[in-house]
Structure 1
Amino acid sequence: MTQRSNSLDPISLDGWRWEPFLMEAVSRLEFLNPQPYPVAPVFLDQRDSVGSASRPVQAHTQVWACSTDKCRQIRAACVEAGSAASVLNLVINPKTSFDLPFFGADLVTLPNGHLIALDLQPALKTDRLHTEAVWDQLTPIFQRWRDRLPGGGPIPEEAEPFFSPCFLWTRLPLGPEGDALIKDVVFPAYLDYLTLYLDLVMNAEPVSNERESRLLDGQRRYTTYRAEKDPARGMLGRFHGKEWTERLIHDVLFDLD
């Protein structure tokens, strides 16, 4: 088996449901001249066998990451574990010298269904300079797709500061109905959110040092919260062990500090 290197090598997971989503994002990032983002080799490609002797599960996790002139870190955590899980977590972390939100996409298949979340997540939710122009453009996109998907349910009150009013969040059943919604609704919605985000990146201008400091504080609050509350912690811990998982979360996925 050839180990992936710390370059822009493509993800390769057998049977991975979410591959078209990541490959489309990678393709659209090309015009930003992405450069490799450093990730320790132990996190680039991890494989473990879990479960019972009679029902083993092969868990395969890969990380893909790059950076650009305006984005500090663009990274994807990708998991394929057969019927146990298939996951794409894609986050774009902007540099604090640009007044940009985060891009976040969570695409998860578990034995009881699909969990889908899309958003442009604010670093400073109560700051209109940071949010108003983004939400004005994002709201029509959100409204275009939200009525075609069932609601995902409430989010915790403590999470409210880290999500926009256009948080597209749904739960879908396994089987043909869910597959059709992923193809006809989730994928085009994902492309709409991603296209808007990349347009915002292209048009972003540098901010003052004072403004950059405020954005850094907001980003730190966001990444600290996400690291503490990462819902994949339990799953990854079962697949690859607690120590590896905690290092992945703090040293790779939410590594701002």
Structure 2
Amino acid sequence: MSGGGSLGVGLPYQKFVSFALEETCLRTTLTPHPSQYLLGSGTVEGEDYPEIPYPSLEKFKFIKSSDDNTVFNALSFSAPKIRLLRSLTIEKKNAFKVLDFAAFSEPEYDLPIFCANVFTTPAQSIVVLDLNPLYDTTIHKEYKDKYYKKIMPLAQKYSELLPWGGKITSESLRFFSPIVIWTIFESTERNHHVLHLAFMDYYKIWLELMDQAIKENNKVTIARNREQQHKYLTWRAEKDPGYPLLKKLIGESRAEDLVMEFLFEGVNTLGTKSFLDYFPEYARDDGSVNKKRSMIGKSFETRPWDANGKFIGDAEAFRELSSNCIQQAKETSRKLSSKRALPEAKEQKYTHFPTCLGSLFPCMSLTHQASREKVSEVHARMDELVELDLKRRKGSGDKDKLGCG
């Protein structure tokens, strides 16, 4: 890559991209994706990338930043089973490096989406590496077993070498798999070496899954796969955490084009639903999209899957949300009992609770028996708390003291 600089730690992210292209070329035939030619003028030197036997790849483009010290490289390809394989690397001399690499299958396959996002400064690196599920694995157990069950031991190894990076929202979690590597580490040679190994292992697994994938002929299933991929792209395009940096480096219009036409290409072609069609909870009163990362307000500070890939985050979420709901019940009880007779108050005591309890299981279907039982338990406890409090204060005239049970 011409220009740019080194942070003095880790491997250049072009090495990650080069490995992925070389491995892919061993299994299938890559051709330039149409998005490759939307990226502006200029030619990227090719010595960092494998030689792929057709001349059109000499037309690799790069994006020109207003900052002469920042270099972009953007590549995109397709293959018989791969709708889009694309990479973006950014490097600003002595400041930061970025890798954004992804691979999307054709809708005739329900393959996970390979995802590698790394942001590195001289002090630390922020990493997400995953085979993002096309279908939420906390709901679709068959999908989880199909793609992740056999590779959990490998994921467990890397989860110990690259520990969980801290809070992640429940909305984002629905797009991650049990093998996700979400980590923040000091930018050392050792850590970047481990990351490089993880990238290579995860990508080889994705390629093996691609090799084994059988083309789907059922039109309904294909349409469902297409919509799920479109939903993923719509979420990523709207909530991309890297967008502010892109806007700063290349301007708002160019950054939006890069996000919509390259990084998440397909958001305008695979479907017609909008972000709010998929995620109505983000709608503001004026019809615009709420820019908050989370509407539920629940995050996971520790890894919410066990070593076998079982989702265990509900236990933590249940404790936190049930505590909040109990507090809401007591507040509602106080307000109602000060103005209404007991029968009326009992009927109206917590009509807002379905929303409260619905947010308790952001990654699980409330049709699951376990979830229904938990909700029933909390509702029963609400009945006990509120009725006890109303009766107690009806007899004593105490408007402030609450029965905590």
After TM superposition, the score normalised by the length of structure 2 is 0.56
Structure 1: state its 5+ residue gaps: 1-10, 51-56
Provide the rounded CA distance (Å) in 2 between the counterparts of 1:242 and 1:164.
32
Residue pair 2:4, 2:70 contacting (<8 A) in 1 also: no
Provide the rounded CA distance (Å) in 1 between the counterparts of 2:141 and 2:82.
21
Taking a change above 3 Å as real, the CA distance of residues 179 and 98 of structure 1, as seen in their structure-2 partners, is same
Q: How far did 1:124 drift?
A: 1.0
SS of 1:45's partner is coil
SS of 2:94's partner is helix
Alignment match, 2:233: 223
Alignment match, 1:191: 200
Alignment match, 1:54: none
Amino acid at match of 1:26: L
SS of 1:47's partner is coil
| Structure whose CA Rg is larger | 2
Provide the rounded CA distance (Å) in 2 between the counterparts of 1:140 and 1:12.
40
Provide the rounded CA distance (Å) in 1 between the counterparts of 2:232 and 2:191.
30
Alignment match, 1:27: 22
Q: How far did 1:111 drift?
A: 4.9
Taking a change above 3 Å as real, the CA distance of residues 70 and 129 of structure 1, as seen in their structure-2 partners, is farther
Q: Give CA-to-partner distance per residue, 1:104-136, whole Å, 9 cap, x none.
A: 011221354111211000111133343322111
Residue pair 1:47, 1:58 contacting (<8 A) in 2 also: no
Provide the rounded CA distance (Å) in 2 between the counterparts of 1:123 and 1:12.
36
Aligned pairs for 1:143-182 within 5 A: 143-174=156-187, 178-182=188-192
Provide the rounded CA distance (Å) in 1 between the counterparts of 2:211 and 2:220.
22
Aligned pairs for 1:84-123 within 5 A: 84-123=95-134
Q: How far did 1:145 drift?
A: 1.2
Correspondence 1:36 to 2:32: yes
Alignment match, 2:146: 133
Q: Give CA-to-partner distance per residue, 1:174-233, whole Å, 9 cap, x none.
A: 3xxx221111x1111111111110000001001121111111111111000000111111
Q: Give CA-to-partner distance per residue, 1:26-79, whole Å, 9 cap, x none.
A: 1101121111101214283122244xxxxxx62211211101111100000110
Residue pair 1:108, 1:116 contacting (<8 A) in 2 also: yes
Provide the rounded CA distance (Å) in 2 between the counterparts of 1:215 and 1:156.
24
Q: How far did 1:151 drift?
A: 2.2
Alignment match, 1:7: none
Amino acid at match of 1:224: T
Worse overlay, 214-223 or 127-136: 127-136
RMSD over aligned CA atoms reads 1.7
4+ aligned runs moved over 2 Å, structure 1: 11-17, 47-50, 126-131
Alignment match, 1:18: 13
Taking a change above 3 Å as real, the CA distance of residues 188 and 111 of structure 1, as seen in their structure-2 partners, is closer
SS of 1:162's partner is coil
Q: Give CA-to-partner distance per residue, 1:134-172, whole Å, 9 cap, x none.
A: 111231111111111232112111111111111111111
Structure 2: state its 5+ residue gaps: 7-11, 42-60, 269-405
Residue pair 1:102, 1:120 contacting (<8 A) in 2 also: yes
Provide the rounded CA distance (Å) in 2 between the counterparts of 1:225 and 1:13.
33
SS of 1:152's partner is coil
After TM superposition, the score normalised by the length of structure 1 is 0.87
Percent identity between the aligned chains? 27
